[in-house]
């Protein structure tokens, strides 16, 4: 792939952010309304091109997080999701995008940034059921991000990242139910969470409830990996229906 004549082609590199949070007990993703062409006026993931040729990829992701979503880029869990580089995915030319997944606790409404005429939290199932159309291949990226988050809830302590600094076990259960889209048995969930060493540790006194017995408060524990895992209820059928 090298000789005296041939020069390797260059591409434009972008980062896109799938920022997930819980609002109203439903999983939401942050979308912006695009203020510039292409797809002007359409909803899209926050993101953008590398700021300069020497910018690190995670740094670019955190910069966009702040610029376009006004979210604290330094503190959020950020994870590489994958590369999306199909030719033709962006009408501006060969744009290869690195997608990052971020998990945020409930936050104040985001404000519109530089290139976004508006920023808003959108329930993911509206996008994944194609009720909302989003720009580029962002529907695919969102789907991949949601699936990654769902899978990570099983074997990592990620769920606590959706909560505030302290939370009750019932709140943690709501995270699992919202992300997985299932109902869980509170009593079995209670035992599982307590049995996973290092997942949660007691924190301070009770929380004052609207009604009923007050619940113990917990903080995220030191463990990142869940042993034993908290597994999703098995979906029957359609086992061989995957490529």
- Give residues in contact with a second copy (CB under 8 A): 1-2, 8-14, 36, 48-57, 64, 67, 80, 82-83, 85-87, 93-94, 96, 98, 114-115, 197-198, 222-225, 227, 234, 239-240, 242-243
| Binds 80: which of DNA, a second copy, none (CB < 5-8 Å by kind) | a second copy
DSSP state of 136: T
> Sign of dihedral through CA atoms 225, 62, 84, 1?
negative
Q: How far is the CB of 23 from a second copy (least distance, A)?
A: 27
* Minimum gap (Å) between residue 178 Cβ and DNA: 16
CB of 155 to DNA, least distance (A): 10
148 neighbors 156 (Cβ within 8 angstroms): no
Measuring CA to CA, how many Å separate 56 from each of 96, 98, 163, 172, 208? 15, 12, 29, 34, 45
Nearer to a second copy, 26 or 94 (CB): 94
108 binds, among DNA, a second copy, none (CB under 5 to 8 A by kind): none
Residues 98 and 85: beta-carbon distance below 8 Å? no
Binding partner at 214 among DNA, a second copy, none, C-beta below 5 to 8 Å by kind? DNA
Cross-strand pairs, 26: 23
Which segments of 42-102 does DSSP mark as H helices, in order?
A: 57-69
Positions touching DNA (CB under 7 A) are: 168-170, 185-188, 190-192, 194-195, 206, 209-216, 228-231, 233-234
Nearest C-alpha neighbor of 15 from the set 73, 75, 56: 56
The token duo for 68 is 């376009």
Nearer to a second copy, 14 or 102 (CB): 14
């Amino acid at each position: 792939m090298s000789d005296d004549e041939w020069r390797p082609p260059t591409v434009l590199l972008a980062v896109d952010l799938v920022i997930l949070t819980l609002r109203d007990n439903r999983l939401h993703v942050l979308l912006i309304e695009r203020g510039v062409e292409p797809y002007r006026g359409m909803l899209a993931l926050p993101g953008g091109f590398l700021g300069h040729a020497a910018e690190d990829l995670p740094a670019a992701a955190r910069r966009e997080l702040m610029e376009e979503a006004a979210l604290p880029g330094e503190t959020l869990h950020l994870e590489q999701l994958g590369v999306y580089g199909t030719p033709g995915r962006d009408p501006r030319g060969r744009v290869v995008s690195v997608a990052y997944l971020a998990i945020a606790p409930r936050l104040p409404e985001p404000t519109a940034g530089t290139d976004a005429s508006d920023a808003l939290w959108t329930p993911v199932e509206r996008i994944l059921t194609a009720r909302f159309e989003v720009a580029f291949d962002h529907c695919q990226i969102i789907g991949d991000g949601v699936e990654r988050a769902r899978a990570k809830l099983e074997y990592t302590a990620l769920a606590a990242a959706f909560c505030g600094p302290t939370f009750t076990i019932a709140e943690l259960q709501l995270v699992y139910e919202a992300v997985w889209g299932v109902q869980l048995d509170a009593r079995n969930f209670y035992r599982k969470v307590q049995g996973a060493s290092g997942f949660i540790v007691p924190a301070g006194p009770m929380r004052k409830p609207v009604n009923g017995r007050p619940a113990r408060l917990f903080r995220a524990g030191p463990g990142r990996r869940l042993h034993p895992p908290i597994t999703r209820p098995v979906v029957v059928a359609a086992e061989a229906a995957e490529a």
